[in-house]
């Protein structure tokens, strides 16, 4: 990578907005997440979601950056498939049936709701990941996207999606039927026909491994800071 694109992250990244993204991360001293279409060494196109985490010293100065990449190519392909199918369904007046076919073929959980957010259908991956059928899930959580989502900002995300008629992406923490915790990244996409929202399609991808990796990095950073504080305290005791 260094030989091909250089040693600097600004040169190595294929994201056209990387300079602004990097500056935002550095100036705000907060993690920044973005998506990029890249080429592998074999010229294969892949989508990655990158989270850049700033590492701060005891004086709150940025001393390092840790970038974690997650391959979301299958998620992007599912999004493209859903959009493509929605156009075909508009012409053939078989909206829900063909969306179901596309959604059933992905490992991502898919929820289809009407224009008000009332859940109509989920795919097999939804049941496989969370352990609930649609009816069981409705009985436990509710029957609308607003009720079932574990995101504290779901109301704002849902209103933004409907108002702007554009996809929104958010992350939430969920509990499976077996009591396990899974982190899901949701892309909520409106299906627009004649400038009116006919359906809402939520595609969930399991990013639990990414979250665990982020937590591990955070724990390691805390441990390093604790060791640094201990060393400083020991040096102070020796000097006194």
Q: How many helices (H) and strands (E) does the chain have?
A: 10, 8
Which pair of structure tokens corresponds to residue 185?
A: 């990244």
Cα separation, 96 vs 230, in Å, equals 61
Cα separation, 99 vs 10, in Å, equals 39
**Confidence (pLDDT) at 240:** 60
Give DSSP secondary structure letters for 4-45: HH-SSHHHH---TTHHHHHHHHHHHTS-EEEEEEEE-TT--E
**Confidence (pLDDT) at 157:** 93
Sheet holding 32-39, edge to edge: 32-39, 45-56, 62-71
**Confidence (pLDDT) at 28:** 92
**Confidence (pLDDT) at 39:** 86
Cβ(181)–Cβ(169) below 8 Å = no
**Confidence (pLDDT) at 102:** 62
Count of other CB atoms within 10 angstroms of residue 76: 20
Cα separation, 109 vs 34, in Å, equals 21
Cβ(104)–Cβ(96) below 8 Å = no
**Confidence (pLDDT) at 124:** 86
**Confidence (pLDDT) at 99:** 57
pLDDT digits (tens), the chain, 240 positions: 888 888 888 888 889 999 999 999 999 999 999 999 988 888 899 999 999 999 999 889 999 999 999 999 988 888 888 878 777 767 665 655 655 566 566 778 889 999 999 999 888 888 889 999 999 999 988 999 999 998 889 999 999 999 999 999 999 989 899 889 999 999 999 999 889 999 999 999 888 888 888 777 877 777 777 777 766 676 666 666
């Amino acid at each position: 990578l260094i030989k091909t694109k250089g040693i600097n992250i600004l040169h190595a990244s294929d994201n056209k907005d990387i300079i602004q993204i990097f500056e935002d991360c550095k100036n705000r001293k907060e993690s920044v997440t973005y998506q990029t279409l890249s080429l592998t060494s074999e010229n294969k196109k892949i989508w990655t979601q990158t989270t850049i985490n700033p590492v701060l010293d005891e004086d709150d100065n940025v001393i390092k950056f840790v970038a974690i990449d997650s391959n979301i190519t299958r998620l992007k392909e599912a999004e493209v498939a859903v959009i493509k199918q929605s156009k075909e369904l508009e012409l053939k007046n078989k909206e829900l049936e063909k969306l179901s076919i596309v959604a059933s073929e992905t490992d991502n959980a898919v929820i289809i709701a009407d224009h008000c957010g009332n859940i109509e259908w989920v795919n097999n991956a939804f049941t496989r990941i969370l352990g609930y059928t649609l009816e069981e899930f409705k009985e436990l959580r509710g029957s609308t996207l607003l009720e079932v989502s574990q995101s504290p900002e779901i109301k704002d995300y849902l209103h933004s999606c409907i108002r702007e008629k554009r996809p929104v992406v958010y992350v939430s923490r969920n509990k499976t039927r077996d009591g396990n915790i899974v982190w899901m990244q949701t892309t909520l996409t409106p299906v627009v026909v004649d400038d009116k929202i006919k359906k809402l399609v939520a595609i969930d991808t399991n990013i639990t491994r990414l979250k665990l990796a982020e937590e591990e990095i955070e724990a390691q950073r805390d441990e390093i800071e604790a060791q640094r504080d201990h060393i400083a305290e020991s040096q102070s005791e020796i000097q006194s």
